[in-house]
Amino acid sequence: MESLICKHWHHCPAEEVTTLLTTHPDRGLSLFEVKHRLEHFGPNMVTAKKQRGPLIRFLLQFHQPLVYILLAAAVTTIILQEWVDSSVIFGVVIVNAIIGFIQESKAEQAIESLKQMMTTQATVLRDSKWMQIDSIQLVPGDIVRIQAGDKVPADLRLLSCRDLHVDESALTGESVPVMKKEGTLNPETILADRHNMAYAGTLVTYGQAQAVIVTTGDKTETGRISEMIAEAEDFSTPLTIKIASFSKVLLIAILILAALTFAVGLWRGKGIIDMFMAAIALAVGAIPEGLPAAVTITLAIGVNRMAKRRAIIRKLPAVETLGSTTVICSDKTGTLTENQMTVRRVFAGDEYFDVQGNGYTPDGRILSGGAAVAGKMPVALSETLLAGLLCNDSRLVEKDKIWHVEGDPTEGALITAAAKAGFLMHPTTEKMSRLDVIPFESERQFMATLNKTEAGNVVYLKGAIEKILDACSESLSVDGMPAMLNKQDVFEKADELASNGLRVLALARRKVDKDKLDIDDCMSGLTFLGLQGMIDPPRTEAIVAVGVCRKAGITVKMITGDHAVTATEIARQLGIGRVDGREHEKPETLSGKQLESLSDEELIEKAGSTSVFARVAPEQKLRLVEALQARNHIVAMTGDGVNDAPALKQANIGIAMGITGTDVSKEAADMVLTDDNFASITAAVEEGRRIFDNLVKFITWTLPTNGGEGLVILAAIMAGVALPILPVQILWINMTTAVLLGLMLAFEPGEKDVMNYPPRKPDSPILSGILIGRILLVSLLMLAAIFSIFNWQKSIGYPLEVARTVAVNLFVMIELTYLFNCRSLTRSMFKIGIFSNPWVLVGSGLMVVLQLLYTYAPFMNKVFHSAPIGANDWFLVVILAFAVYGIIGLEKGVRLCIFKKAR
C-alpha cells in the first residue's frame, strides 16, 4: 500500500500513475479493494486536530499579570469587607475572561470549514459501473468524472479531458480559471502551473474530464493547508505584550512599596495589624483597577468605529495591532485591483489607442495620441472592437447600479470596450445576428462566430496571437482598406503590450457566402483586425491608500499567485516599492520558483528588499510571513483563499476578504473586510493608531492617581502621622474616576497627524521617558498638595473626617483638570478643541455631582467616612487643581518649543 505514495504525480505518465495506484481506467476499483483502502487511508475528509477543552481555554484567560493585579485588588477589598467594590472588580475580571474565551478557537473553526468544503457528491467508476457516491467514501485509485459546476472531490491526476477549466483561485490565487490538459510536467513545476492535476475544493467552470484520485483527506493539498493552520503559531499582539510587561513591572513595584510601608511602620513602633492595613491601603491605591476595563472598552469602541469603516474585528487586541503594523502583505486580485478585467490598449490599423475607465462600467473615452477619438472612428478600430463584441458568449448586467459580467471576465472586458465606442450589446447583436459558432477549445485556441451583416455573412475570430496570425493573409488599414500583413511587427507589438502586464487577444474576420461555419473557414484567408490588451486594473482608492501607507512608514508588499509580469506592472502602477523620484521604475520581484531555492537566511534578507512575490505556493506565503517576523516586523496579511489561511493565522494580524473570501480564510483571520478593499485596511490602521494613542493617554492619566495615593500613604507612614485617605476612600476615587473621567478618553478623536509618522517600534515600551517623567511630576504634585493641605488643616483644628474629605476632593479635582491635559499628550486642549470630545465634559460634570454627593449626602458620609466642607475649602481645592493643570500645560509647551527648535 505504501506504493500509492508519490511526490510527483504530475511528472508521471498517466499509464504509470494508474499502474502505481493498481487501478484500471476502464473498470475502476473493485468493491473489496475500496473497502480495504478505506480502512487503510481513512475517509476522504480533513480530520480535526485535538485542541484544548473549553474549560482549560476559559481558565487560561485568567493567566495574565494584569488579571493577577485585579484579583489581588479584589482580595484586599474582601479583607476590608467592601463587598460592593470586590463584586465590581470580580465582575470586570469575569467579563474580560468571557470576551477572550469567545474570541478564541479560530483554528478549530477553520478546519471545520475545510471539512464542509470538501464534502460533496462524486461520480466514480467501480466494478465497471459509474455511480454517484458521497465524496467522503472516495479512496486513492478511484476513477472519477468531473464536469462544469462540480467541486473537485480529491486531488486528481487527469487521464483525459475536453476543454477543462478549473477555478483554482481559492488554492493558488490565480485570478482567472486555469485551462487543464493531459501530459507530463517537470518535477519542479509549482502547484499553480500543474495543468494535468486538479485539486480538492477547487471548482470546475467549463468542460469535463476523467481522472484518477491520487490523494484523499489529510494528504490532499487542502489537507496539508489545514495542518499548517493547526501548526501556525499564535502571536501575542503588541498591546498584549506591552500590557503584560507593564503589568509585571507594576506588580513588582506595588509589592515592594507595600512591603516597605509595612517595614517602616514596624520600625517606627506601629502595631502589626495597623501596618498590615496601611500596606493594604497602599496596594489598593497603587493598583489601577480601571485599566483592564479601559483597555477592553477602548478596544470595543474601536471595533464599532472600524465596523463603520468596513472592517469587522474578530479579536479585540487586533484593533490595536493594526496601529503597530510595519508591513502589509496584500493579495492582488480584488484587494489591490478591481477584480474586473479591463481593456487598456488597442492596436489596430498600425496605431495604438488607449481606453479609459475601470471595470465593467461602460463609461470611458478612447484616446489616440492623448486626445479623444472625435468624429468618425477609424475603421480598423471599430472593426476590432466589433469583433470582440460579436465573437462573445458573455453579457453585462447592471444590478444595484453596479455592472457585472455573466460569463468569462475576458469577454466582459471586450463587451465593455465596445460599449465605450458606442457598440451596445443588444442593438448590435440584433442588427448583426449570429448564424453559427465554433466554441473555444484548448487545442484550437480560438473562438469563431458567423454573423449576418449588411455587407454579407462575416466570420469573426478571437484567440491566441499565434493561431490567429497563422490564418491571416492580410491586415486592415486604419481607414478600412486591405493592407500587407507584417506578422513580425504584430508579434513585437503584442510583446510590448504583454511586457506591461496586459493579456493580449488577437481579432480577425473573413467574409463568406454560407450560413454554416466549418473549421476550414477559420484556418486561412482571414483579415487581421487588431489586438486588445487587457488587465485587472488597480483600484483608484488603493493607489491613494498605498501612498498613505508609504507616508506613514508602512511597507506594502504584494503576494500573489498571478504571473510575475502582470503582478510587477500592477505593483508599479500602485506605487508599491516606489522610491521618490523614481516613479517609473518597476519594483523588485521574486517568483515562487526563485523563492523555493532560497535558504531561510537568504529569504529573511530578500524579504526586506523585495516588494512583489508572484506565483507563490501556500507554504511559501507562510514562509514569507515568518521571514518578515524574523526581521522584527509586525505583519498584517490579507487573503481570501484556502491557500491564504495558514499565513493569515501566522501573521500578527490576518485580514480576510468578506465578499470573495472563503469561510476558511475568514475563520483564520483576525479581521474581515466587508468591501474587499485595500483602502479599508489603511482606514483600520489609522483607527488602530488612534486607539493605542488613547490607551497611552489613559495610562498617562491614571498612573499619577495611583502613584500619588501610594506616595501619600508612604509619606504618612514615614512621618508617623494619620493617613490622609483611607482604603475605602481610595477605592471610591479609583473606581469612580476611572469610569467617569478616564474612560472618556476612549472617545477621543484621533490626532490629525496620526498617519504622518512611522509605526511604533515593536520593542518600544508603552510609555516614553517623557511620559514617565510627566507621571512622576503629577504624582509628586499630588503628594505635595494633598499631604501639605491635610497636615495644615489638621494643625489648625480641622476634624480628621473633614481634612480627609478635602484630601479626597483635591485628589479628584486634580485628576479632573489633568484629564484635559491628557486629551493630547503634546498639544494644548485649546488647540485640539474644547468640544471635540463632548464625553469628557459629560463625565466631568457627572464626577462633580458625585463628589457633591460624597461630601454632603449623609449616607455617603456614613459609608465613606466623609464630612461636609466649606466654600473656602472648595476654593482651595479648585485653585490647586488648576495650578497643576497650568504646570503640566507649561511643561508640554516647553517640550514642544524644544522639539521645534531641534527640527
| Active-site amino acid positions | 331
Distances (CA, A) of 584 to 426, 536, 540, 574, 576: 41, 19, 18, 11, 11
Q: Which of 127, 714, 627 is nearest to 635 (CA)?
A: 627
* Triad 191, 464, 508: Cα angle to 5°: 160
Cell 448590435 sits on residue: 428
CB 23 within 8 A of CB 199: no
Encoded amino acid at 399, one letter: K
The whole-angstrom separation of Cα 471 and Cα 474 is: 10
Strand ranges in 431-502 using DSSP code E only, listed in sequence order = 434-438, 446-453, 456-463, 472-476, 482-483
Helix intervals (H) in 796-870? 800-822, 829-832, 838-856, 858-864
Distances (CA, A) of 462 to 93, 352, 491: 67, 18, 16
SS3 636: strand
How many residues does the structure list for the chain? 903
Q: What is the DSSP letter of 337?
A: B
Q: What is the DSSP letter of 141?
A: T
Beginning with the edge strand found earlier in the chain, give each strand of the sheet holding 612-614 in spatial order: 311-313, 671-673, 653-657, 635-639, 327-330, 555-559, 612-614, 589-591
CB 707 within 8 A of CB 286: yes
SS3 439: coil
Burial of 784 (0-12, 13-18, 19+ CB in 10 A): middle
The whole-angstrom separation of Cα 142 and Cα 124 is: 7
The whole-angstrom separation of Cα 277 and Cα 726 is: 10
Q: What is the DSSP letter of 555?
A: E
CB 246 within 8 A of CB 275: no
Burial of 732 (0-12, 13-18, 19+ CB in 10 A): buried
- Joined grid coordinates for residue 336: 489591490
Burial of 81 (0-12, 13-18, 19+ CB in 10 A): exposed
State the Rg of the chain over Cα: 35
